[in-house]
Amino acid sequence: MKNISVLGSTGSIGRATLEVVRCFPDRFNVVGLAAKDNIGLLESQVHAFKPEVIAVSDEAAGRELKKKNLPVEILTGDKGLEEIATITHVDMVVSAIVGSAALMPTYAAIRAGKDIALASKETLVMAGSIIMAEASRKGISVIPVDSEHSAIFQCLNGRKGHEVQKIILTASGGAFLRKDLSELEKVTPEEALKHPNWLMGKKITIDSATLMNKGLEVIEAHWLFGLPAEKISVVLHPQSIVHSMVEFIDGSILAQLSVPDMKGPISYALSYPDRFGDVLPPLDFSKIRMLTFEETDWKKYRCLGLSYNALNTGGTMPSVLNAANEVAVEAFLNKRILFTEIPDVVLNTMSQHKISDCKTIGDVIEASNWARKKSEDLINERRD
């Protein structure tokens, strides 16, 4: 029986995680759950999974939940999230909080010696060197939950590092794959949120449309698999069946394929090094008929290039990239900027940043806070 805590239990990854847990009740015990402010869903999760303690990061929502007299300890705020991540008898923490908010509780879990099932790519984007060094020092596993990194993780299992030529991350291309660059200025948030293959949260769905999600995954892959930027490539694959590939020095390529359902990589992270049965329906190749791959349009998907630049620059720049993108995406969703202005905000924020080393988490947070303010100022200037 594995004791787990789920950070971000009411989000798409958190809900899928609990679906997997529900299918294997003899393998998992849910000890802690944490959410932002969806107290209605969190309440139902409490009744279904009977955790010992829960946390709500939004203080007001937490106070509202406490009025319901649930049979569980209720914590609030950022401190509450970190307590859920560090419960003494928890074996694994599923980090599924969206964005930079995942950094501190995930770091706390690693320092407490917990294995991590990592869905929050921003944690490694912001502080990859610190996170992976601490994981190594503590002797814990960081197992990727992103479908792309899970695919690479599976393809590399048992392989020798010197045999790897490169890894190939696949990208669906998001909601606007078939739109020309000239058409993107007029697209709406509602259109951008219509992902053709995946049901995800708003932020990551917009990131998929700009391909920033793939850029962040390039940075994450660098830290997870120890490969330089030039050995990490991206190819468009509209069907989202091939989740990623590894090319070896002899020219052979291994790929991981499955239906586009996050329960697959989640179950593998939870069960590793074993596999559960009957998680996903098998692929019917007679119905798929065709799998296609296309080059990435770097002019259309400028956020991807910005991510490679941030990785190659290093230091605090990836944290700045991430923070500026979060602010820009939120501004687009609130119809304060155009879709095509998202990379403009990120680029202009990065260009004004004075890079420093990431020696501590404090360095990372300071750079992120600076980028948030700077990008917000840039957005306000555009509207004046």
pLDDT at 383: 66
Q: What is the pLDDT of residue 382?
A: 74
Structure confidence at residue 154 as a pLDDT band (50, 70, 90): very high
Q: What is the SS3 assignment for 142?
A: strand
Q: Which two three-digit tokens encode residue 374?
A: 């700077």
Q: Out of 63-72, 102-111, 246-255, 368-377, pick the least confident.
A: 63-72
- Give the relative orientation of helices 302-313 and 212-225 as an angle to the nearest 10 degrees: 30
Query: Six-digit token pair at 100?
Result: 């930079």
Positive or negative CA dihedral for 212, 95, 59, 193?
Answer: positive
pLDDT of residue 289: 84
Average pLDDT, the chain: 94
Tell me the pLDDT tens digit for each residue of 256-310: 999 999 999 999 999 999 999 989 999 998 888 899 999 999 999 999 999 999 9
Contacts of 178 (CB under 8 A, 6+ apart): none
The DSSP secondary structure of 273-297, one letter per residue, reads TS--SSSSPPP-HHHH-----B---
Residue 198 has pLDDT above 70, yes or no: no
pLDDT for 169 beyond 80: yes
Q: Which amino acid is at 109?
A: A
CB 353 within 8 A of CB 373: no
HSE-up (13 A, CA, CB side) for residue 237:
20
Q: What is the pLDDT of residues 49-69, one digit of tens each?
A: 999 999 999 999 989 999 988
Q: What is the mean pLDDT of residues 19-40?
A: 95
CA distance 101 to 122: 9
The beta strand positions in the chain, using DSSP E, are: 2-7, 28-35, 53-56, 73-76, 92-95, 115-118, 142-144, 164-171, 232-236, 242-248, 253-257
Give SS3 for 36. Answer: coil
Domain boundaries, the chain: 2-144, 147-260+280-301, 314-384
Tokens read off for 77? 């705020």
* Per-residue pLDDT, 190: 92
The residues facing 246 across adjacent strands are 167, 254
Q: Please report how the helices 147-156 and 263-271 are oriented relative to each other, as an axis angle in degrees rounded to 10.
A: 50
Given this model, what pLDDT does residue 174 score? 84
In our burial notation (b when 16+ CB lie closer than 10 A, e otherwise), range 295-331 reads ebeeebbbbbbbbbbbbeeebbbbbbbbbbbbbbbbb
Above 70 in pLDDT, residue 384?
no
Percent of the chain whose predicted confidence (pLDDT) is above 70: 99
CATH architecture under which domain 314-384 falls: Orthogonal Bundle (1.10)
Work out whether strand 242-248 and strand 92-95 pair parallel, antiparallel, or are unpaired: unpaired
- As a whole number of angstroms, the distance between CA 382 and CA 360 comes to 34
Q: Which amino acid, one-letter code, is at 20?
A: V
**Tokens 């601490």 sit at which residue?**
134
% of the chain with per-residue pLDDT over 90: 85
| pLDDT, tens only, 202-240 | 888 999 999 999 999 999 999 999 999 999 999 999 999
Cis geometry, peptide bond prior to residue 273 (ω within 30 degrees of 0) = yes
For residue 199, what pLDDT band results from cuts at 50, 70 and 90?
Answer: low
Residue-level pLDDT at 88: 96
Of 54-63, 167-176, 338-347, 373-382, which has the strongest mean pLDDT? 338-347
pLDDT band of 74, cuts 50, 70, 90: very high
For position 196, what pLDDT does the model report?
72
What distance in Å separates the CA atoms of residue 373 and residue 384, rounded to the nearest whole number? 17
- Residue position matching structure tokens 């990836």: 318
Q: What is the DSSP letter of 34?
A: E
The string of pLDDT tens digits covering residues 314-349 is 999 999 999 999 999 999 999 999 999 999 999 999
Residue 360 C-alpha from the chain's centroid: 22
Instruction: Assess if CATH 1.10.10.10 describes domain 2-144.
Output: no
Q: What is the pLDDT of residue 177?
A: 86
